[in-house]
Amino acid sequence: MRPHVVQLAEDLKKAGIQYAFGVTGGGASLELIANLEKQGIKYTPVAHEAAAPMMAGATCADGLMRAVAISIKGPGFVNMIPGITLNHFEARPALSVSEAYDPSIKIAKVHKKVDQETIVKSLVKQYGRLSVKTKIKDYKTCAENEVPGPVHIDICNDSAIAVNGCNVSEFDKAFEELPDITQFKKPVLILGSLVVRQFTNIDWGSFKIPVCTTAAAKGAIDETHAYAGGVITGEIKELSPESTIIAEADCVIAMGLRCNEVVKPINYEKPTFIMDLVSGDMHDGFNAKEILASKENIDILKNSVTSWGKDLCEDARANIRKETLKHPWVPATIFDELNNHDVALTLDTGIFCTVGETIFQAKTPSNFIGSTQGRFMGTAIPTAIGHAIHTKKHTVCVVGDGGIMPYVSEIATAVEKKLPILFVLMSDGGYGACAPAAAKINAPEHAYERTYQNIEKIVEGVGCPAKSAANMTDVATIIKDWRAGNNPLYLELHFEKNIYRSMTEKLR
């Protein structure tokens, strides 16, 4: 056993690592896994290396580094890159560890060497090579500090190689003083994912003003609350919160509203204040004054606002329900049914995602997870597995025609670990989100119209029971029966193409 690998396992335990995922080789990666298990850190093998950082990242969605993804060098490391990229997009502070050649060895003289440092450094907050001087607590601090993100360590044979420092963004703008909010009679509050990580014990509904969130902060306010205003994205349509709620406000106050958490930053054309722990270009486009996010400033804010907007929020929700539930068999009816059950929802990317983020009511942040910043199609299945392993929640994972296949093999892990995950395929027979653009340029149909055959048989082949349904009576029964148990299930749903592709016309 390599002494520095043994020490790494011990240090990871001390740093609070609870989970490990990966694909092992016969060298340092296997030694690390063996020593992690000795430390009581359970290792979960995955089918494809990319799934390991995705699962690890899902356990870190609240901003705490508690999982490591492991791979061999070269191709194994490269295969992890999509998962590390997801964690980069979603600000998930997961650690990845890979075997690696010593940097002094020339690529031309060895088998399957790539420049791992160059490949990964643009995606991680800290990169280093394992040595006796490596301090995992420094990686943990780097990963968790705002803005959170992944970190990576290479294990080389040369244990004397030092570790590089943390890449920290420089913010050169000074925060302004909190203004007198009492001058505004109809303020609206927008929550970004910062509050999920740093301000977790605040009852935002108690402010008694409309509270909207970014998709990354969904559940920061209990979405069944009377003042919950829905998810904002910057893509504005008739029923978007920007049109129905924010347009009626005379002031916007945001907590951690950042450009990367919306599709498009918007100038709300009214006084806007963003309270955050970082300043600078992350707020460009909002035309906002930057205020330090602190408990003191939040208390001042709460004591400065006057209750308003309850009826406005209720009307907005009612109009959304009227629009999205006007057909008896659409994704909205399934998401609405999920509101009757204590479940977490994991969404992949597609038209159904817009509907799910709008209709499903997350009571807490742990009730929802998805690729809300990167909109990374195909990542929901590994994400749901990591989320279910950590939270122990019954989890509904919804994918579309584009997202079902990349990591469908990972369902085997859910079967092996008996995870209570309901994998749902919502199909319209193609890439519905791309169809309007494709029609405008007369693109070939096979580029965006596709239906995979026999997905049920593929899923059953890895040991997961599979069902299909075509009406809400059957869906409600299937969900109820699955929720009563503790095992995975696959459910396939097909929708009429034209209705499906028009269901977000007034949302965003």
pLDDT tens-place values along the chain, 508 residues long: 888 999 999 999 999 999 999 999 999 999 999 999 999 999 999 999 999 999 999 999 999 999 999 999 999 999 999 999 999 999 999 999 999 998 888 877 778 899 999 999 999 999 999 987 889 999 999 999 999 999 999 998 765 454 567 876 555 567 888 889 999 999 999 999 999 999 999 999 999 999 999 999 999 999 999 999 999 999 999 999 999 999 999 999 999 999 999 999 999 999 999 999 998 889 999 999 999 999 999 999 999 999 999 999 999 999 999 999 999 999 999 999 999 999 999 999 999 999 999 999 999 999 999 999 999 999 999 999 999 999 999 999 999 999 999 999 999 999 999 999 999 999 998 888 888 888 889 888 888 887 677 899 999 999 999 999 999 999 999 999 999 999 999 999 999 999 999 999 999 9
Six-digit token pair at 147? 């803005």
Q: Based on the domain organization, do 362 and 450 belong to the same domain?
A: yes
User: How many C-beta neighbours within 10 Å does residue 45 have?
Assistant: 16
**Residues 494, 475 contacting (CB under 8 angstroms):** no
Q: Based on the domain organization, do 358 and 460 belong to the same domain?
A: yes
Q: Based on the domain organization, do 350 and 431 belong to the same domain?
A: yes
Query: Phi then psi for 65, rounded to 5 degrees?
Result: -80, 110
Alpha helix ranges (H) inside 371-410: 380-391
Q: Based on the domain organization, do 343 and 492 belong to the same domain?
A: yes
Residues ≥6 apart with Cβ < 8 Å to 68: 12, 17, 19, 20, 21, 22, 36, 56, 94, 95, 96, 97
Task: Please give the single-letter amino acid code of residue 410.
Answer: E
Domain CATH code at residue 205: 3.40.50.1220
**Residues 103, 25 contacting (CB under 8 angstroms):** no
Residue closest to 241 by CA, chosen among 177, 338, 309:
309
Q: Based on the domain organization, do 136 and 266 belong to the same domain?
A: no
Establish if 84 belongs to a structural domain: yes
Distance from the Cα of residue 256 to its chain's centroid? 16
User: How many C-beta neighbours within 10 Å does residue 263 have?
Assistant: 14
In this predicted structure, what is the pLDDT of residue 93? 98
Domain that holds residue 192: 181-314
Three-state secondary-structure class, residue 424? strand
Q: Which of 114, 134, 163 is the last residue of a domain?
A: 163
Residues ≥6 apart with Cβ < 8 Å to 116: 73, 77, 98, 100, 154
Q: Based on the domain organization, do 473 and 338 belong to the same domain?
A: yes
Q: Based on the domain organization, do 247 and 361 belong to the same domain?
A: no
| End-to-end CA, the chain | 55
Establish if 383 belongs to a structural domain: yes
Q: In the chain, how many domains are there? A: 3
Q: Based on the domain organization, do 214 and 292 belong to the same domain?
A: yes
Q: Based on the domain organization, do 159 and 204 belong to the same domain?
A: no
Q: Based on the domain organization, do 424 and 356 belong to the same domain?
A: yes
Q: Based on the domain organization, do 485 and 458 belong to the same domain?
A: yes
Judged on CB neighbours under 10 Å (0-12, 13-18, 19+), 2 is middle
In this predicted structure, what is the pLDDT of residue 132? 73
